[in-house]
A = this chain, B = another copy of it.
Amino acid sequence: MFLKKKFQIILVSLTLVVASCKAQTKSISNAKKSNKQEHPSLILTKTGVEKIKSQLGTVPLFDETLAKVKAEVDAEILNGIEVPIPKDFSGGYTHERHKKNFIILQKAGVLYQILDDETYAKYVKDMLLEYAKVYPTLPVHPQTRSYARGKLFWQCLNDSNWLVYTSQAYDCVYNYLSENERKHLEKDLFRPFAKFISVENPKFFNRVHNHSTWGNVAVGMIALVMDDDKLLETALHGLKKDNIDPNEKDNDGGYIKKKGQKVGFLANLEEPFSPDGYYTEGPYYQRYAMYPFLVFAEALENVKPELKIFEYKDGVLLKSISTLLNLTDADGNFFPLNDGQKGMSYYSRELVSAVNIGYFYGDNRTDLLSIAKDQGEVLLDDTGLSVAIGVRDGLATPFVKKSMNLSDGKNGDEGGVAILRAKGSKEELTLVMKYSAQGLSHGHYDKLSFSLYEGGNEVIQDYGMSRYVNIQQKGGGNYLKENTTWAKQTIAHNTVNQDEISHFSGDFETGSMHHSEKYLFDVSNSNLQVVSAKEINAYPGTNLHRTMAFVNDETFENPYLLDIIKINAENEHQYDLPYYYLGQIMSANFEYTKSENLKPLGTKNGYQHLWKEAEGKSGTGNAKLSWFNKERFYTLTSVVSNDDDLLFTRIGANDPNFNLRNDPGFIIRKNNSKDVYFVSIIESHGHYAPVSEIATNAFSNIKNLSIVYSDDAYLAVNIENENGDKKMFMFSFKDNSKTSTHQIKIENKTYEWIGTYKLTEINK
């Protein structure tokens, strides 16, 4: 009851005050100064703690999380305090120990508040004192790989993680400590720590980048605990002076800071997020950044409510939570756009925070409760309690993922990512098409690329990054050389390569200046969902235009994916279009020759990593390849000429340390082409289970796929199924208006349609 009322009040205030967003950004010193600060006040509040205590034992999800956290912290307390001298990369002992310390510190602080048990406060105190003992004399970390080395960790990024969590612990035990203890900790640990990751590392701190977000938030969180508005100002708006060379780049090849660039937390919120809540680095890093963004927003909302942080940029923080949840497959795994480690999902602790905070400070969206239920844990704070109560009270509704277009860029005008979702006979088919901006230093050179899922299974995969995060054996858990030489390259993606050169020649500066352009996104008809985008800068003098559609045709078991790429170039080039299917080849409708010895397909730009397993040509106008994966059959049918090369590849050449996954690929190569089309269809069909040994619908239903009309402005494609039923897909490349009328003539018959595209049945 109480909560419900509170939410209504928030709701009202939200609808009233959509004003003065810009005013907020100016300076917080003008804002109404808060009274002498209470503790805790960051993620826990005095009233919140009272409420939690009163509900203990009645809210299963909260109680279970509490029991789990208590068991974990109790075990660590038994183990004793370890604050080793920093030495290792991620994955190594000292790294993992310090990481565990900050996680346990935060949890112990919370337990102290909720359980009123001084054991936990003492543990926090003792460990903080240990850190205060060693920190003043710590040199920078002995591992030298980072552009911004930390002290506890090999990079300032991880030091910032430490401070974000530890600030919360400090807040929780603030009143337990004596004033002298607090003075000591602030003087010898927290202030120098904050200074080190900001003033002493401006290249790390004064940037727009997920690293800096962590840095800004770390400083901001400790500023809030210490009630230091000046330090908070630095967190929100960055350092006034930094002397960063505008040409300087970081380890990943990203610019440190462009001239005139705004910095600090608010700039990091302003710039990388599009108005749709898409974070330009991609979902993997959005997930990583969500925690500092949201936990600091929560703290700001508690301590400096006058900042109205959740309304900033039209409520982008809350919007981004929903966006991120939509950037997942059926199992909750994030699409591995740009640098993304596969398997990262909304089960991560960052998303537990995001969902809890999103529920509490957002509209109490009951669909978030179903995600929280799946996650099976909540934050041990006001937000987690409200979620657990909602789940207990049966308020959860399904989280329904829809087809959506997510703009990229600060103003939403730098391309985007489109997600098409189509109901299949067994599971949903999902297309992810990327026509975004570069994505900062974690971006890949893959304009107009795509990946395809069926439920939680990858059908056509995006490789993701080449890195084994935190696995020490693999380069200390850091980015591997192959991330640059393979994973970022264009050939590693399901998109067009010209002359075996990556988009923008793989040049980060050039890539960062451009983005693709949306041409069409139309999901108004669930049986024919279309996305279309253009890229004119990846290869100067060459225009690429890709159109992808889910077609739900009742004569097919599942919706199929139609894929049309139009290329217009000033000169002749070689064009390669790879499809990184997963599974075992079942059959091909063309002759091919397996290589007796395997050689790399090329020498650079990622081609050096592909073994050429086989090569073929088709004389029938269609190349058809079927494969089998996870009990299902798939077929790619592509319009090809007699001259096109059909290449079977496998990743893994020039990989001296077995860093790459040895996955297969199929490349359609068009030689000496100027103006040319790639037209393909991908079907999911049938089923085979080794237990029943029954194969159903094991063959493609496409008898023929052909281009029946093309000129500069229009294309018509005929799709004939095995029964001989024909459909024609017509498309206008020059006019994307919904209302224009178009006309083409094929064999003396005139076809007319309104809008950019049309799918029509045609007589046999």
Q: Which of A80-88, A455-463, A687-695 contacts B (4 or more CB under 8 A)?
A: A687-695
B347 pairs with A698, CB closer than 8 A: no
A96 pairs with B662, CB closer than 8 A: no
| Chain B residue, CB-CB nearest to A598 | B598
Interface residue A11 (Cβ < 8 Å from any Cβ of B):
no
| Chain B residue, CB-CB nearest to A469 | B693
Q: For A587, A648, A664, which residue has the most chain B Cβ atoms within 10 angstroms?
A: A587
Shortest A322–chain B CB gap in Å is: 20
Interface residue A658 (Cβ < 8 Å from any Cβ of B):
yes
Interface residue A91 (Cβ < 8 Å from any Cβ of B):
yes
Interface residue A471 (Cβ < 8 Å from any Cβ of B):
yes
Which residues of the partner chain B approach A481 to less than 8 Å between Cβ atoms?
none
Whether A347 contacts B691 in the complex (CB less than 8 A), given A473-B587, A594-B655, A661-B584, comes out as yes
Q: Chain A interface residue count: which class?
A: 35 or more
Whether A343 contacts B598 in the complex (CB less than 8 A), given A584-B658, A586-B474, comes out as no
In angstroms, Cα B690 to Cα A477, docked, is: 12
Whether A693 contacts B470 in the complex (CB less than 8 A), given A598-B597, A698-B91, comes out as yes
Shortest A571–chain B CB gap in Å is: 33
Shortest A259–chain B CB gap in Å is: 35
Interface residue A599 (Cβ < 8 Å from any Cβ of B):
yes
Which residues of the partner chain B approach A471 to less than 8 Å between Cβ atoms?
586, 628, 688, 695, 698
Interface residue A585 (Cβ < 8 Å from any Cβ of B):
yes
In angstroms, Cα B347 to Cα A656, docked, is: 43
Shortest A743–chain B CB gap in Å is: 43
In angstroms, Cα B692 to Cα A654, docked, is: 31
Which residues of the partner chain B approach A477 to less than 8 Å between Cβ atoms?
695
Which residues of the partner chain B approach A648 to less than 8 Å between Cβ atoms?
658
Residues 648-663 of A, flagged 1 when their CB comes within 8 A of B and 0 if not, give 1010101111100110
Shortest A479–chain B CB gap in Å is: 14
In angstroms, Cα B92 to Cα A698, docked, is: 10
Residues 688-725 of A, flagged 1 when their CB comes within 8 A of B and 0 if not, give 11111111001100000000000000000000000000
Which residues of the partner chain B approach A626 to less than 8 Å between Cβ atoms?
473
B342 pairs with A690, CB closer than 8 A: yes
Which residues of the partner chain B approach A688 to less than 8 Å between Cβ atoms?
470-471
Partner pick for A656 among B594, B690, B698, CB 8 A cutoff = B594
Whether A585 contacts B658 in the complex (CB less than 8 A), given A472-B698, A688-B471, A698-B472, comes out as yes
Whether A598 contacts B611 in the complex (CB less than 8 A), given A96-B694, A691-B347, comes out as yes
In angstroms, Cα B626 to Cα A473, docked, is: 9
Which residues of the partner chain B approach A654 to less than 8 Å between Cβ atoms?
594, 596
In angstroms, Cα B431 to Cα A375, docked, is: 35
B586 pairs with A345, CB closer than 8 A: no
Interface residue A520 (Cβ < 8 Å from any Cβ of B):
no
In angstroms, Cα B662 to Cα A664, docked, is: 10
Interface residue A397 (Cβ < 8 Å from any Cβ of B):
no
In angstroms, Cα B345 to Cα A477, docked, is: 38
Interface residue A47 (Cβ < 8 Å from any Cβ of B):
no
A348 pairs with B598, CB closer than 8 A: no
Interface residue A497 (Cβ < 8 Å from any Cβ of B):
no
Shortest A446–chain B CB gap in Å is: 21
In angstroms, Cα B657 to Cα A470, docked, is: 39
Interface residue A341 (Cβ < 8 Å from any Cβ of B):
yes
Residues 574-611 of A, flagged 1 when their CB comes within 8 A of B and 0 if not, give 00000000001111000000101111100000000001
B691 pairs with A343, CB closer than 8 A: yes
A597 pairs with B597, CB closer than 8 A: yes
Partner pick for A473 among B91, B586, B599, B658, CB 8 A cutoff = B586
In angstroms, Cα B688 to Cα A650, docked, is: 26
Interface residue A10 (Cβ < 8 Å from any Cβ of B):
no
Interface residue A344 (Cβ < 8 Å from any Cβ of B):
yes
B692 pairs with A348, CB closer than 8 A: yes
| Chain B residue, CB-CB nearest to A592 | B656
Which residues of the partner chain B approach A698 to less than 8 Å between Cβ atoms?
91, 471-473
Residues 661-691 of A, flagged 1 when their CB comes within 8 A of B and 0 if not, give 1101000000000000000000000001111
Shortest A529–chain B CB gap in Å is: 30
Which residues of the partner chain B approach A348 to less than 8 Å between Cβ atoms?
691-692
A689 pairs with B96, CB closer than 8 A: no
A345 pairs with B584, CB closer than 8 A: no
In angstroms, Cα B596 to Cα A611, docked, is: 10
Which residues of the partner chain B approach A596 to less than 8 Å between Cβ atoms?
600, 654
In angstroms, Cα B693 to Cα A693, docked, is: 38
Partner pick for A695 among B470, B662, B692, CB 8 A cutoff = B470
Which residues of the partner chain B approach A468 to less than 8 Å between Cβ atoms?
586, 628
Which residues of the partner chain B approach A597 to less than 8 Å between Cβ atoms?
597-600
Which residues of the partner chain B approach A472 to less than 8 Å between Cβ atoms?
695, 698
Shortest A527–chain B CB gap in Å is: 26
Shortest A283–chain B CB gap in Å is: 13
In angstroms, Cα B587 to Cα A689, docked, is: 35
Residues 467-495 of A, flagged 1 when their CB comes within 8 A of B and 0 if not, give 01111111001000000000000000000
In angstroms, Cα B691 to Cα A597, docked, is: 39
A695 pairs with B344, CB closer than 8 A: no
In angstroms, Cα B657 to Cα A693, docked, is: 21
Partner pick for A341 among B349, B599, B614, B690, CB 8 A cutoff = B690
Which residues of the partner chain B approach A664 to less than 8 Å between Cβ atoms?
662
A343 pairs with B586, CB closer than 8 A: no
Whether A690 contacts B599 in the complex (CB less than 8 A), given A472-B695, A585-B658, comes out as no
In angstroms, Cα B584 to Cα A477, docked, is: 15
Q: For A594, A655, A689, A693, which residue has the most chain B Cβ atoms within 10 angstroms?
A: A693
Q: For A473, A585, A596, which residue has the most chain B Cβ atoms within 10 angstroms?
A: A473
Q: For A341, A586, A596, A664, which residue has the most chain B Cβ atoms within 10 angstroms?
A: A586
Whether A341 contacts B470 in the complex (CB less than 8 A), given A91-B698, A597-B598, A598-B597, comes out as no
A residues neighboring B (CB under 8 Å):
91, 96, 341-345, 347-349, 468-474, 477, 584-587, 594, 596-600, 611, 613-614, 626, 628, 648, 650, 652, 654-658, 661-662, 664, 688-695, 698-699
27 CB contacts below 8 A, A to B, read: A91-B695, A91-B698, A96-B694, A343-B689, A344-B690, A345-B690, A348-B691, A469-B690, A470-B688, A470-B695, A473-B586, A473-B587, A473-B626, A474-B586, A474-B587, A477-B695, A584-B658, A594-B655, A594-B658, A597-B598, A597-B599, A597-B600, A598-B611, A614-B658, A650-B662, A662-B662, A662-B664
User: What are the 9 A-B residue pairs with the smallest beta carbon separation, nearest first?
Assistant: A343-B690, A598-B598, A585-B658, A473-B587, A473-B586, A469-B693, A471-B695, A597-B599, A470-B693
**In the complex, given contacts A347-B691, A594-B654, A596-B600, what are 18 additional A-B residue pairs having Cβ atoms less than 8 angstroms apart?**
A96-B694, A343-B689, A343-B690, A344-B690, A345-B690, A470-B695, A471-B586, A471-B688, A473-B586, A473-B698, A477-B695, A584-B661, A585-B658, A594-B655, A596-B654, A597-B599, A648-B658, A650-B662
